Chain A
Amino acid sequence: MTDFNDYKSLSGPQFVRLAETDRECLSFQLNGKSVQALKGDTVLTAILMNQSCLRKTEMQGMPRAGFCLMGACQDCWVTLASGQRLRACTSFIAPDMHITTFPGDPL
């Protein structure tokens, strides 16, 4: 069984850009690393353009990457370094946002 605690082993990206690619670039922190996104990306898109997974489940530690993308399933809540939690599919990425997809792991 794969060790999902090692987020670095998770390949990516999951999403593929098909349109609207000439937007302004911005960088944000993902698990301690500076990565790129485009202005107008949701937090979910920004993360899944860099890796294939958003979070681990609380009970079994299984990887998840959102599901409904419309604010219904609640499977894409992520944590900012500040401790604030946000729903990734309905929040927009902002420069210098610091997101930890696996809170508790050493950065």
Chain B
Amino acid sequence: MSETLNRETFKPVIVGAGPAGVRAAQTLVRFGLRPVVIDESSIWGGQIYRQQPLIFKRSSKELYGFESGRADSVHQAMADILNQIDYHPDTLVWNAQDHELDTIHDGQTSTTPYSHLIVATGATDRVLPFAGWTLPGVYTLGGAQVCLKFQGCAIGKRVVFMGTGPLLYLVAYQYARAGAQVLAVLDTSSLSDQVAATPRMIAQPGLLAKGIYYVAWLRTHGVPVHRSIQPVAAKGESHVTSVVWRDKRGEHTLECDAIGFGYALRSETQLADIVGAKFEFDPAQRAFLPVRDESGRSSIPGVYIAGDGGGIMGADASELAGELAAFALIADIDIQLLSPTDLQHIQTLKSRLTTSSKFRVGLDRAFPFPENWADNIQDDVIICRCEEITAGEIRHAVTELCALELNRVKALTRVGMGRCQSRMCGVAAAEIVAECAAIDIKEVGRLRGQAPIKPIPFITEPETLSVHKQGER
């Protein structure tokens, strides 16, 4: 790096302090910038490397297993730069306007201007409902993992894990190791999917080996693993008391008091949407995602998207993407700031990211999205848990009210209009519209992001609220 940047002119803001956000911040600091890092959590690490409350005592090996080295490294990187950044934990970005973010912290709203924005908003579980999924005792796989990592608790006494994706086996393994009673792992993918994907996953033999290890460990410790299953229902009245699934041998019931389920992850794209980034349909992830170049530049000059928030890439790749986005930001300020060593390093990051994306293709093949999911969903199954909208109501909007586009279906049924703003039901609602209308999922479109990105309390400081200019967006 040739010179120190003028901190007054450049005010980069990073939203999210997971692997991507932390590596982005670290890189900007190296170039003499003082980024603002805004994060919803009370401490950095993101969901994957989420830190436990300070008074908890488990070692990082206990918390993160094989990933403890990476977790420690990300945590330390952020600890090392804390006095060189403006860090805002427990702070929600709920809206964005031209070069300004509207935030809320502890009931107080304020506005943060930015010259450049790195969106590192991460991901949540990709959810496909089944009958009874709203019962107490049913959680996402990620939620089940947070419960253990962040609270030292299991989601129930007798737990079943269901769905598909790498997290399915990882969480089951972590639960069983921690002493929870794991009754079964029910995978919608087939063994042949996983065998067929192996050649692609050889790109990262370490990660492949870990996946195989979890399955083998579960089997040797007596946890039944059933593949090629189809979830049927969670049964119970006031809370879940059993799970029902189907396979080619018929229907099966297992008594349990908790279910963790999910189908890999989906990107948190609301902020990218609100700043106006262009989105395109990604067939591999079956979702509309913000367009980004190989360094993370979005369609909006000065706005970068790093990590899972722009498409699922995994924690290791997110670190690389965070660093690359920060380098892109520096290059866009002045390419001369990058030394030959920096340029060489950027090439290395890009080639490592390419290797990782080959592995990602393998993962998608090993744990495929169940494309026929909507065919098997009865009309009375709740799809939108906030507004309690059923599959039948969505189908009614398609067949009787001729709504073929997702925002239209939302307007007519209130699906996706509730507090979660479609985070939990958006994927499923789109699948049902596509199935019912017999059109390609891409044609259904995507729900537009809206402010507030998440609910904000009624009690806010009125004088600061007025900073938000009415009618601008």
Contact = CB atoms under 8 A, between A and B. Distances in A.
Partners in one complex: yes
Interface string B120-131: 000011000000
Interface in B134-182: 134-140, 142-144, 146-148, 150-157, 178-180
Contacts of B125: 68
B210 interface: no
Nearest to B175: A18
Contact of A70 (B142, B152, B258): B142
A14 B439 CA distance: 42
Contacts, number: 147
B258 A14 contact: yes
Contacts of B151: 15, 20, 40-42, 45
B7 interface: no
A5 to B, nearest CB: 11
A11 B454 contact: no
B389 to A, nearest CB: 10
Nearest to B90: A90
Contacts of A19: 58, 62, 152, 178
Interface string A1-41: 11010000111001111111101000000000000000111
Interface string B213-224: 000000000000
A23 to B, nearest CB: 6
A15 B147 contact: yes
A15 B139 contact: no
B32 interface: no
B182 to A, nearest CB: 12
A63 B239 CA distance: 8
B385 A16 contact: no
Q: Is the interface of B mostly helix, strand, loop or mixed?
A: loop
A40 B154 contact: no
A92 B41 CA distance: 12
A68 B143 contact: yes
A69 B56 contact: no
A57 B388 contact: yes
Interface string B72-95: 000000000000000000000000
A59 B124 contact: no
Interface string B50-66: 00110111100010000
Contacts of B152: 17-21
B388 A60 contact: yes
A75 B418 CA distance: 10
Contacts of A63: 135-136, 238-239
A103 interface: no
B143 A53 contact: no
A15 B175 CA distance: 13
B420 interface: yes
Interface string B260-278: 0000000010000000000
29 contacts: A4-B238, A14-B136, A14-B155, A14-B258, A18-B153, A19-B58, A19-B62, A20-B52, A20-B56, A20-B58, A21-B152, A40-B53, A40-B56, A40-B151, A49-B153, A53-B238, A63-B239, A66-B139, A67-B134, A67-B140, A68-B142, A68-B423, A69-B143, A69-B147, A72-B268, A74-B420, A75-B419, A84-B457, A90-B41
Per CB-CB distance, the 3 closest pairs between chain A and chain B, nearest first, are A65-B136, A74-B419, A69-B143
